[in-house]
Structure 1
Amino acid sequence: MSEKNMNFGLFFLNSVAPWKTDAEELRDGLEQIREADELGFDTAWIAEHNARKYGVVSSTAVYMAAAAAQTKRIMLGSAVTRLPLHHPLQVAEDMNLVDVISDGRLYVGVGKGYDAYEFEAYNIDFEQRHDKYEESLDIIKAAFQNERVSYSGKFYNIQDVPVYPRPVQKQGPPIFVMVSGNDASIVKAAKEGHSFVLGGITNEDTMHKISLYRKTALEAGYSQEYVEKAISRSGKLLFFNVAETTEQAAKEYEKGLMWYMSVRDNRPTFGVVDRDRHLNYDDFLKSGNAFIGSSEKTINDIKKFREETGLNNIICWFNCGGQPQQQVLKAMQLFSKEVMPHFKGSYSISHSK
């Protein structure tokens, strides 16, 4: 298999560290997406949170619309839109609008939400999130594919409601689900034909989940072509920094990462903290989820990752914990100039309108 078919994205949590303001962080993120569009990155993924300093984008649709208006080719994805916190018809309408603004460059990542405090802030029952998520996802899929929607459920009763605007992409934007340790999430994604983004799991587990996805999706009746296309869009989120030397890359990344880890005790561990939720930075650098180093080291890390997992799509978290803007931009530029050419040919993620 050729190495020249890999895809690289960026992840944006938009954390406001003590040395940044909200406005600086949000504007920096948009500048990074504009730069990524020029540098050849394939995707930009936007996280959604409320009432948390480590993530200040309360609406993925609003931020993606701003990014879409300033870019030409990069795909934009929500990672994730928390469905139980929004009315599903409004989610569908907002995402369709972004799909139009971007001319079909939208991926829709969906999730249930995991933070009870964020639900409490909106006075929404945290314990109902699973059932609300299931209903919301059914409605959103219907709204992407049909001009009018009817639905009767426990939480939503919709009778022949028109949904506008209509999306540019045929059948609506592709849907992604976030997957971490539990196999149930990847099985459900496969049965429903959704793509996926993997979190903090080992390379061995990554390979297992991709194999399980392929087997389950094929057994569910999806064609080989459909399944391989869904997997080609899917990726894994990894910590990234590239500098002239590995020592410099590690030194640069430490302050932001350690601050972030200190304020996100409610977040998944991403495979880099111990049972007492402590992080040793040296151990972090040795973990399979940290690609921190020189261009040469990064190339070798990516080769090893691809050989061990078979996954062709990596989502790079350069700006974890409010990293300095010029450092992030320089790392992205080094990656594009010295790393990306080893893994990218004429292949790019495609989308159908």
Structure 2
Amino acid sequence: MECWIMPILGKDMTFGLFFLNSVAPWKTDAEELRDGLEQIKGADQLGFHSAWIAEHNARAYGVVSSTSVYLAAAAAQTNTIMLGSAVSRLPLHHPLQLAEDMALVDIISNGRLYLGVGKGYDALEYEAYNIDFDQRHEKYLESLDILTTALKNEKVTYAGKFFDIKDIPVYPRPVRRSGPPIFVMVSGNDSSIINAAKQGHSFVLGGITNEDTNHKIALYKKSALESGLTPEYVENAVARSGKLLFCYVAKTTEQAQEEYRKGLEWYMSERDNRPTFGVIDRERNIDYQRFLQSENTLVGSPEKVIHDIQEYKRITGLNNMILWMNIGGQPQRQVLKSMKLFSEKVMPYFSQTEHSIR
């Protein structure tokens, strides 16, 4: 036994999975995309709470160009797992069409859609579609207003810099009359969490420190309450929210660290358009040992991962984790094995309010 696991008190935790669908040199596009759908189907059967799909184009590290298409395929083969976009890049879509597409996903999944939105950060992805990268913030704000309105109302009227919409009906209507919950992706900028709070949207935090995580949660609650939202609404919005963390489980910590390494290092070397999660230095070298010590990393035996989740929950108070197991096109056998171990050995520990195992 690697370590003692002390009792932990609190609400049940939920665990989701994140999918970037990277095409590493050892996989084809079709293999990776089919593997991802098999993983989501398996996650549904194993009791994971949610599956989140990233959206990219023109990059090998992310080949799902439309979250709505991939989510629809996932919805058709699952029963209970929540399905989220992480994220749909609003400036690259017409907001009415995105609302219509996501309403279809919501219907196919019988109301299991989480709609994550963001601006996108990669100029190449904008250039590929001949869309002005420098206008992305303004266009994002207009698109989010229209998207929110379209999912809650049967008709949309809007006049802005980019869109002029006059009394247009929106079909189909989503399962929930209020529309699916909207999540805003938040990293370093406080303005994103403040805007999400004022609009009543939930959030998903990226690779930020635990200290900054606590700061942003407190800022969200303060801003939401000051905007007039009720304490109950704010607590529910925070309870749905979560954070993205690297995760992989094997029988031993040494095995987990070794199996996770190849995909992680390929992804970090391929994703060279900006420094990532503090593990790439100025010479673009990847410090894997430094990565393993990050507070955003949960890689190890079930006992170690349980301990690390305990610490995370104690420090941040968040009850929802979004786990990135299949980074960089990991071998399918390894990913499914990690998911199964996590479901059987880690999840049960957090499914009750008090535990005492070692």
TM-score category of the 2 structures, normalised to the smaller one:
over 0.9
For normalisation by structure 2, the TM-score amounts to 0.95
Q: Identify the residue that residue 36 of structure 2 maps to in structure 1.
A: 29
For 2:344 and 2:54, locate their aligned partners in 1 and report how far apart those are by CA, in whole Å.
27
1:313 equivalent in alignment to 2:320: yes
For 1:250 and 1:182, locate their aligned partners in 2 and report how far apart those are by CA, in whole Å.
31
Deviation at 1:275, TM superposition (A): 4.3
For 1:284 and 1:12, locate their aligned partners in 2 and report how far apart those are by CA, in whole Å.
19
- Unpaired segments of 5 or more residues in structure 1? 347-353
Deviation at 1:265, TM superposition (A): 1.2
For 2:170 and 2:177, locate their aligned partners in 1 and report how far apart those are by CA, in whole Å.
15
Q: Is this contact kept in 2: 1:201–1:271, CA < 8 A?
A: no
Deviation at 1:219, TM superposition (A): 1.0
Letter of the structure 2 residue corresponding to residue 75 of structure 1:
M
RMSD across aligned positions (CA): 1.2
Q: Identify the residue that residue 115 of structure 1 maps to in structure 2.
A: 122
Task: Name which of 69, 72, 84 aligns with 1:65.
Answer: 72
For 2:223 and 2:284, locate their aligned partners in 1 and report how far apart those are by CA, in whole Å.
34
Letter of the structure 2 residue corresponding to residue 316 of structure 1:
L
Task: Name which of 191, 204, 216 aligns with 2:198.
Answer: 191
1:8 equivalent in alignment to 2:52: no
Q: Deviations over 1:208-230 (max 9, x none)?
A: 11111111111111111110110
Letter of the structure 1 residue corresponding to residue 252 of structure 2:
T
1:210 equivalent in alignment to 2:210: no
For 2:186 and 2:282, locate their aligned partners in 1 and report how far apart those are by CA, in whole Å.
21
For 1:311 and 1:277, locate their aligned partners in 2 and report how far apart those are by CA, in whole Å.
32
Letter of the structure 1 residue corresponding to residue 255 of structure 2:
Q
Q: Identify the residue that residue 311 of structure 2 maps to in structure 1.
A: 304
Q: Identify the residue that residue 351 of structure 1 maps to in structure 2.
A: none
> Which moves more between the two structures, 262-271 or 180-189?
262-271
For normalisation by structure 1, the TM-score amounts to 0.96
Letter of the structure 2 residue corresponding to residue 31 of structure 1:
E
Percent same amino acid at aligned positions? 72
Q: Identify the residue that residue 329 of structure 1 maps to in structure 2.
A: 336
SS in 2 for 1:2: coil
Deviation at 1:4, TM superposition (A): 4.8
Q: Identify the residue that residue 105 of structure 2 maps to in structure 1.
A: 98
Deviation at 1:273, TM superposition (A): 2.7
Q: Deviations over 1:110-154 (max 9, x none)?
A: 111111111111111111111111111111011011111111111
Q: Is this contact kept in 2: 1:271–1:289, CA < 8 A?
A: no
Deviation at 1:277, TM superposition (A): 3.9
For 1:312 and 1:215, locate their aligned partners in 2 and report how far apart those are by CA, in whole Å.
19
- Unpaired segments of 5 or more residues in structure 2? 1-7, 354-358
Q: Is this contact kept in 2: 1:44–1:76, CA < 8 A?
A: yes
Q: Is this contact kept in 2: 1:3–1:344, CA < 8 A?
A: no
Q: Is this contact kept in 2: 1:4–1:342, CA < 8 A?
A: no
Residue 234 and residue 336 in structure 1: after superposition, are their counterparts in 2 closer, same or farther (change >3 A)? same
Residue 178 and residue 3 in structure 1: after superposition, are their counterparts in 2 closer, same or farther (change >3 A)? same
Q: Deviations over 1:239-290 (max 9, x none)?
A: 1110000000000000000000011012561233334443200111111111
For 1:318 and 1:38, locate their aligned partners in 2 and report how far apart those are by CA, in whole Å.
17
Letter of the structure 2 residue corresponding to residue 340 of structure 1:
M
1:44 equivalent in alignment to 2:62: no
For 1:165 and 1:17, locate their aligned partners in 2 and report how far apart those are by CA, in whole Å.
37
SS in 2 for 1:18: coil
Letter of the structure 1 residue corresponding to residue 38 of structure 2:
E
1:173 equivalent in alignment to 2:180: yes
Q: Is this contact kept in 2: 1:245–1:294, CA < 8 A?
A: yes
Q: Is this contact kept in 2: 1:147–1:162, CA < 8 A?
A: yes
Deviation at 1:3, TM superposition (A): 3.9
For 1:231 and 1:93, locate their aligned partners in 2 and report how far apart those are by CA, in whole Å.
27
